[in-house]
Chain A
Amino acid sequence: MASLTLKDLYKSYGNTEVLHGISGEIQDGEFVVIVGPSGCGKSTLLRMIAGLEIISAGEVYIGDRKVNDLEPADRDIAMVFQNYALYPHMSVRQNMAYGLKIRGISKKEINRRVEEAADILEIREYLDRKPRQLSGGQRQRVAMGRAIVREPEVFLFDEPLSNLDAKLRVQMRLEIRKLQQRLGVTAVYVTHDQVEAMTLGDRLMVLNAGYVEQFGTPLELYERPASLFVAGFIGSPAMNFLEAKGQPDGMLQLENGVVISGAKSEGPVTLGMRPEHLIEDTEGPIRIEVSVLEQLGANTLIHGTLEGTEREMVASLPGIHQLEPGRVLGFLIRPDELHQFDSKTGKRL
């Protein structure tokens, strides 16, 4: 087991730079999720760690070994691919044993490890099948098994669950987490699904267009998003954003002229309010004209617009509510739950 250190990593394809200086320290045994929208460079970053892409600039350390110039085989990593990448002409057993055989491990030890992994993953009865005779979920397990038996320093996952149906995805998500904790191995996991990221990761690295937006625990990201991007990306339903103006007297003037307290600076700011942080209060200054309700059972999502403007807003109230469209509701928000961002740079204030 080992830590993993990324130092100012750059990646260019020809003249296009797709990663612009990625740094981060991943502790021994930590589960880090790299999350971001499609095309932001997650896979590229992971593949650079794996040794499948050339590092244009910067350094990758596994433990205290610099691995920039090592072949993937010599980095002591295992990777689970999105399409599983099983060897189609080999049985499940051969798939898992392949890497061990190459490393010259004894037959007895190979069998022991393969069978142990098969027991953990509950794929013992499929050991003699070919990959094409397995379902997607079973193939997924074999791919994990192939990674486990190697007993690597670092596990790398590139969207391993995205080909599974929603229910299986939730189940496998839990299993991956349990497995990683049981083995205590360092893991880097790429996904574009923020729920998956929040539930799996000890820490999340949020990537946007080749830059790290924020690197922190799920709660840090939720409670103190470092930028507008992170604020909008983490949390479901997504955070409400409204434009406001900081007044000299410390008040914030909303788009419809209403003022609330808590300005951190003068001039234009972007306010962020999570739907679940809006508290209904008849006296509340944030007034929303209801348009549509979504009944989720445990809570109700209230869609509407900020009174007097076209600004779309969502509030989430616990329990079941019946409201007719056109009603105006007042809301409060606690000052520590009111996020403020620089309108120009998008950085947290």
Chain B
Amino acid sequence: MLKRVHFPPSILPYLLVAPQVAITLIFFIWPAAEALYQSFLIEDAFGLSTEFVWFENFDALFKDPQYTGAFLRTAFFSGAVAFLSLSLAIVLAGFADRVVRGATVYRTLLIWPYAIAPVLAGALWAFMFNPTLGIISYALEFINVDWNYKVNGRQAMALVIMAAAWKQVAYNFLFYLAAMQSIPKSVIEAAAIDGAGPIRRFWTIIFPLVSPTTFFLLVINAVYAFFDTFGIIDAVTQGGPANATTILVYKVYNDGFVGLDLGGSAAQSVILMALVIAMTVVQFRFIEKKVEY
């Protein structure tokens, strides 16, 4: 049993947390409540009258094949981004863990992408892959790849996945490197003496031992792909061509600010909110439990 310590009532603690509470209220709770409220309204095309419709907006969303399409697309996009950036990061960390000399240079170079704003990262990739000007498009021509992500939806998706994954590699790399360096060197050496080559050591020793990190990063990366990739998509494809890269966050923006369907857009953002809350809960649950090995 914990003993309770009683302090005389004082307003100091309330004063101390007040700024944080104010910020949360103004920048999070208020807009969230507003969105929730909006999601129950339908506004006519001219913005002249609004009607309270309960769950009609949500109902319409789930009946809209565009929306369910965006849902699946987002799932695919997040999965691909997480998989690509995690696998790249773990391979790079595996090498960095073995390198002794020049490790700092190598690490610094790898960490740079993380410091770049999403929009800039998007612009960078858009530029490299620009169908007419891009250096990579130019190179692709030589191997007879007909590259034009502005008309080819699959190529557009591939491009935003690469851009989004690239930006996240640095972050994942740092976590993986730290996890690998906390594995005692002698465990790896024992495996080497037992006859395991580098690749086998990686799969049978290192990979299982960093699995808690993998799980943690999986959630982080999924959240990132769901929410933080707006800038990249906006800079590279604006959701196109033909909605091929319109993921949920982008659709919220597009329907609300371009299509001016405020009620529908608000309903979408409420769903996203529910998703992020769910993911956070999952993450905290598992981090507290720790993955057993």
**For the complex, is A89 an interface residue (Cβ under 8 Å from B)?**
yes
When the two chains form their complex, are residues B195 and A103 in contact, meaning their CB atoms are under 8 A apart? yes
Q: How far is the CA of A150 from the CA of B194 in the complex (A)?
A: 8
The residue in A50, A71, A79, A87 that gathers the most chain B C-beta atoms within 10 A of its C-beta is A87
Q: How far is the CA of A73 from the CA of B194 in the complex (A)?
A: 6
Question: Given A87-B205, A89-B208, A89-B209, are A81 and B194 neighbors across the interface (CB < 8 Å)?
Answer: no
When the two chains form their complex, are residues B189 and A52 in contact, meaning their CB atoms are under 8 A apart? yes
When the two chains form their complex, are residues A87 and B191 in contact, meaning their CB atoms are under 8 A apart? yes
Q: Which of B193, B195, B200, B205 contacts A79 (CB 8 A)?
A: B193
Closest A residue by C-beta to B183:
A88
**For the complex, is A232 an interface residue (Cβ under 8 Å from B)?**
no
**For the complex, is B9 an interface residue (Cβ under 8 Å from A)?**
no
Closest A residue by C-beta to B207:
A89
Interface of chain A residues 38 through 78 with chain B (CB within 8 A): 50-52, 71-73, 77-78
Dominant secondary structure at the B interface: helix
Residues from chain B with Cβ under 8 Å of A86 in the complex: 187, 190
**Interface size grouping (class) on chain A:** 20 to 34
Closest A residue by C-beta to B293:
A89
Closest B residue by C-beta to A99:
B194
Residues from chain A with Cβ under 8 Å of B196 in the complex: 73, 98, 102
When the two chains form their complex, are residues B195 and A99 in contact, meaning their CB atoms are under 8 A apart? yes
Q: Which of B184, B200, B204 contacts A85 (CB 8 A)?
A: B184
* Interface residues on chain B, number (Cβ under 8 Å): 18
When the two chains form their complex, are residues B193 and A77 in contact, meaning their CB atoms are under 8 A apart? yes
Residues from chain A with Cβ under 8 Å of B209 in the complex: 88-89
A163 to chain B, nearest CB (A): 13
When the two chains form their complex, are residues B195 and A102 in contact, meaning their CB atoms are under 8 A apart? yes
Question: Given A87-B205, A89-B208, A89-B209, are A73 and B186 neighbors across the interface (CB < 8 Å)?
Answer: no
Residues from chain A with Cβ under 8 Å of B191 in the complex: 87, 98
Q: Which of A73, A81, A103, A150 contacts B197 (CB 8 A)?
A: A73
Q: How far is the CA of A72 from the CA of B188 in the complex (A)?
A: 12
Q: How far is the CA of A150 from the CA of B195 in the complex (A)?
A: 10
**For the complex, is A83 an interface residue (Cβ under 8 Å from B)?**
yes
When the two chains form their complex, are residues A83 and B186 in contact, meaning their CB atoms are under 8 A apart? yes
Dominant secondary structure at the A interface: loop
When the two chains form their complex, are residues B192 and A85 in contact, meaning their CB atoms are under 8 A apart? no
A88 to chain B, nearest CB (A): 7
Question: Given A87-B205, A89-B209, are A73 and B192 neighbors across the interface (CB < 8 Å)?
Answer: yes
Question: Given A89-B293, A102-B200, are A83 and B184 neighbors across the interface (CB < 8 Å)?
Answer: yes
When the two chains form their complex, are residues B190 and A85 in contact, meaning their CB atoms are under 8 A apart? yes
When the two chains form their complex, are residues A78 and B195 in contact, meaning their CB atoms are under 8 A apart? no
A79 to chain B, nearest CB (A): 5
Q: How far is the CA of A281 from the CA of B195 in the complex (A)?
A: 63
A3 to chain B, nearest CB (A): 20
When the two chains form their complex, are residues B195 and A88 in contact, meaning their CB atoms are under 8 A apart? no
When the two chains form their complex, are residues A50 and B193 in contact, meaning their CB atoms are under 8 A apart? yes
Q: How far is the CA of A88 from the CA of B191 in the complex (A)?
A: 12
Question: Given A73-B194, A99-B194, A102-B200, are A85 and B187 neighbors across the interface (CB < 8 Å)?
Answer: yes
Annotate B189-232 by CB proximity to A: 1 below 8 A, 0 otherwise.
11111111100100011001100000000000000000000000
- Extra contacts, 19 of them, besides A72-B189, A146-B190 (Cβ < 8 A), are A52-B192, A71-B192, A72-B193, A73-B192, A73-B194, A73-B195, A81-B189, A82-B186, A85-B184, A85-B189, A87-B190, A87-B191, A89-B293, A98-B191, A98-B204, A99-B195, A102-B196, A103-B195, A146-B194
Chain B contact residues, CB within 8 Å of chain A: 184, 186-187, 189-197, 200, 204-205, 208-209, 293
Which 4 pairs from chain A and chain B are nearest by CB? A99-B194, A85-B186, A89-B293, A73-B195
Give me 11 A-to-B residue pairs in the complex whose CB atoms sit less than 8 angstroms apart, sorted by A's number: A52-B192, A52-B193, A79-B193, A81-B190, A83-B186, A85-B187, A87-B190, A88-B187, A89-B208, A98-B194, A102-B200
